């Protein structure tokens, strides 16, 4: 994992962004640290359950939507300060109550960053 302290990484998760949608669920991260480049994503985990990249989509700051597996070192995403990316997972909605989330973007600047956060579905 990268050398960024966990308490700073936790601040990238937008608290309260976890919600069920008609197609599954979504959550958001927002860059509050430094400009960066996302060169890939690991599968999202919720309560230890891994969701395949094929079911995961990124909604970018400009409103465009692309498959999480499309983000790569050959096709990276700029992640400027203040930029917000919403990750949408197609599939079964999450149960109500608290959940543990693990989001792992791979960055050019610091390698893989494991963002772990707690949030709830009301």
| Domains within the chain, CATH numbers bracketed | 6-121 (2.60.40)
Cβ 58 vs Cβ 65: under 8 Å: yes
Sign of CA pseudo-dihedral 32, 9, 112, 27 = negative
Tell me the pLDDT of the chain averaged across its residues: 94
- Identify which of 73, 101, 95 has the alpha carbon closest to the alpha carbon of residue 17: 101
Check residue 1 and give its pLDDT: 45
User: What DSSP element (H or E) covers 66?
Assistant: strand 65-67
pLDDT at residue 18 greater than cutoff 70: yes
Mean pLDDT confidence for 56-69 = 95
The secondary structure element, H or E, covering residue 9 is helix 6-10
- Across the range 67-76, mean pLDDT stands at 95
Share of the chain above pLDDT 90, in %: 89
């Amino acid at each position: 994992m990268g050398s960024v302290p966990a308490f700073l990484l936790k601040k990238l998760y937008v608290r309260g962004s976890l919600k069920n949608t008609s197609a599954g669920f979504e959550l958001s991260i927002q860059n509050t640290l430094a400009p960066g480049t996302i060169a890939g994503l690991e599968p999202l985990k919720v309560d230890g359950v891994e969701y395949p990249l094929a079911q995961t989509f990124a909604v970018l700051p400009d409103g465009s939507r692309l498959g999480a597996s499309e983000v790569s070192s050959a096709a990276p995403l700029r992640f400027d300060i203040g930029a917000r990316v919403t990750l949408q997972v197609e599939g079964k909605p999450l149960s109500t109550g608290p959940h543990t989330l693990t989001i792992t973007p791979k960055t050019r600047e610091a390698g893989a960053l494991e963002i772990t956060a707690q949030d709830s579905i009301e």
